[in-house]
Every structure is written in C-alpha cells, then in structure tokens.
Chains A and B, each alone.
Chain A
Amino acid sequence: MVLDPAHGGVDPGARGTGGVRESDIVLDLAAQVKRGLEAQGFQVLRTRSANENPSFDERSALANAQTGGIFLSLHISSTGLSGTVRVYTMPDMPIPQANGGLIPWDQAQAPYLSLSRRLGDAVQGELAQKFKGSPAEVQTAFLRQLRTTAAPAIAVEISSVSIQDKTELDKMLPGVAEAIVRGVVAFRPSYVTPAVPGAAPGAKP
C-alpha cells in the first residue's frame, strides 16, 4: 500500500479560516490509515511522513516501483457539505499501446481503471455508511496525481477545512481511516498482482 498525504512543504493545500491546513491533517490521517492497514497485514509506504512536498511524479514513482501496489491519495477540500467524504478515480482514458510491455508514464493509470473503480466503490461504500450525505458510489475527476500511477489508485477527499471547529474534523479521522481499511481489505482478494512492477494488471471477476 502506498499512502499519499497530499501537498506539504511550501504547499499547505486547502486552508481554513481557523488556521486549519490540509497538508497537516492528511499527514495525521495517513498515520491512522497506516496503523489500521498494518494491523491487517499490509506493508505500507508513505509518499511523505513529514512536512515535505514531493512532486506528482515522485509520488507516482514510489507506487509504480512496487509489485502489486495500491495507491491512496488523501485530501481535505475547501468546499462541500461538512462531514462528508468523497472517493475519486480517473474518468475513462484511452488504453495506450504497450511499448515492449511498458505502459507510457503519462497514461500509466489507464490499464488499472477498472480495478481503481472497484477499489473506489469498496471504499466509498464503507464511507457512505459512516458519513451521512456522502455519495454511495465513487466519483470521477481527472486528477493529475492519479494519471501517472500504475496501480489501482483512488483519491479520498473529506469536506472540509471550512469547518468551524477543527476538533470536528479531528473526530472524523478515525472513522475515515477505518472505512478506508475495510474497503481496501474487501477489495484486495479481487486484485491479481502483476508479475513485475509497472506491468498490466489482472482482475478476478
């Protein structure tokens, strides 16, 4: 598992009026998700574990170097109904022509889209049960971070930094982490991991 707490370093991400910074909260959330996944036997890597800002490509590269990796990008929005959580995958992408068995970097997500949607639906389903008002199904958005990731990849976005009391947001994090872990555990058996990093994936029906 590769967890990606978005933003960091000079990029704080979304900022709330009360000084809430997206880059700090997602770091906390990543730590909680990591503990939960490790308790389920997953090996977990993070794209950052401190206030750093790796590039989009550096974050994708960490996932693309793993065999059978799963990528989760964690976000807090500026907008949306407070207390809800949405999961995103990429919209349809043309399947690139494999060049000597390699997937082009800028379309790396294309062969993994159906797996990403299956993962997204599993996680979104868990989140919808815990957080009323959240969508029942995964959403699509053309996200730069997901495009270059050669693995089942989703972005999870919590609403929002505009929340009046930061403790309300802090209280959400354990529930969000638990739902993510449950969704990933439910998805894992359907993912046939490729033989080598970056190769096209397989999926059980």
Chain B
Amino acid sequence: MNPKWRVRIVVGLGIAVLAAAIYFPILKKRVKLQALVQQKSEEQARRELVQSLNAVSDAPKVKAKLFWASDADDSGLAPTTVELPLSNEPVLRAKQVLNTLLAGPVDSELRTVPSDAALLAFYILPDGTAIADFSEAMANSIPSGVQSEQLAVDSIAKTLEANVPQVKRLKILIHGQEVETLAGHLDLTGTFPVSTAAPSKK
C-alpha cells in the first residue's frame, strides 16, 4: 500500500476513535436521562392519582364493583365489592376504580393485571370511547397467553362497565402508543365494547 494512504487511514482511524471517545459518554448520559424521564412520568401518574384520591377522600363512600380472577387458575372473573370515596366526575372516577384494580385484591393469586403496571393517563371522548394509557409493565409483566391477556382486558372493561356508565368502549394504549398486541396474542389495535368486553373494529 502507498505509504501516503497508510498515513491517511491511520489518521482517519485515530479521528474516529477520538470522536467515539467524546461521543460515548454523551450518549450514555442521554440514555440515562431518557430512562429517568420515563420513570418520572410513571411516578408522576401515581402521584397525580394519589392526589386525586385525596381530593375526593371526603366524598361519601360508595360500593364499587371490581373484577378480579374468580380462582387462581384464571378460569374467569368474579365481582368484589369495595367501599371507595368515588368522585362523581367520570374520568376521575374511572381513574380511581382502575387504580384500585391495579393495586390488586387481598389474595394476590387473584390478580388479573401486573402489580408493577401503572395507569399513566385516562380520557373519555364525547362518543363514550375511553382511552386508557398504561405503563409498559402492563405488556411486559403480564403472563404470556390468550387466557391471561383476555382476562386482563376483561377485568378492566368489566370494572369500567360496573362503575362508570359513561364509558361505552375502551381503547388501550401502552406508554402512549397503539401496539399490535398486549403480549403477543390479544389484539389492541381496535376498541373493546365495554358492555360485553368483547372487542370490535372501528
């Protein structure tokens, strides 16, 4: 090889190594920052929920109906009546019952949704479509399978149906995004009619 070219290649490689040495710590810092922002947004969601619950803690307690698994084999759902100081405002009320659902039943074997999942946001559109945005743990921590994924969605839909009559159908997002499936099986691209918890396509 021509010595001139050899020098050029060595210099080029030296510059590339130097650039990588400078850029790598910056990249590392950015990734850490991104993770921190994500963690904060989930923490923020939890904090907002606690604040919203506190805001209505003076409200009279009413009997809310929550749907967890009927037995440890996940063969179906059973209603459990819990006394909660529920708001009359539909969005706040929905947040309260869904977060109670996420907190789980006394018997943790009867859980239908992962214990580390958080409700990040909840809206109700004028046509009665509810948008429930859950943290990534909802998809990543749920046991994989048709039965377990169906049970999770059914428990959310039935709990909304029993306590928030303004909700007609449910759209589930994961960390603000529409995803193809919950954990490889159940289709999340459509909406679930809340009255029957059986989904439909728009």
Contact = CB atoms under 8 A, between A and B. Distances in A.
A133 to B, nearest CB: 9
B146 A141 contact: yes
Interface string A44-82: 000000000000100000000000000000011111110
Contacts of A7: 184
B145 A160 contact: yes
Given A141-B185, A141-B186, A143-B187, A77 B201 contact: no
Label chain B's interface by main secondary structure.
Answer: loop
A49 B189 CA distance: 28
Contact of A77 (B148, B181, B200): B148
A92 B195 CA distance: 14
Contacts of B150: 141-142
Contact of A155 (B146, B192, B199, B201): B146
B198 A77 contact: no
Interface string B39-77: 000000000000000000000000000000000011100
Interface string B167-192: 00000000000001100111101101
A142 B192 contact: yes
Contacts of A56: 180
B14 interface: no
B145 A157 contact: yes
B144 A144 contact: no
Given A80-B75, A92-B200, A106-B201, A11 B184 contact: yes
A142 B198 contact: yes
Contact of A78 (B145, B192, B198): B145
Contacts of B145: 14, 75-80, 157, 160
B165 interface: no
Interface of A: 6-7, 11, 13-15, 22, 56, 75-81, 86, 88, 91-94, 106-107, 140-145, 147, 155, 157, 159-160
15 contacts: A6-B184, A14-B143, A75-B145, A77-B147, A77-B148, A78-B148, A80-B73, A81-B73, A141-B150, A142-B150, A142-B192, A142-B198, A143-B186, A159-B147, A160-B145
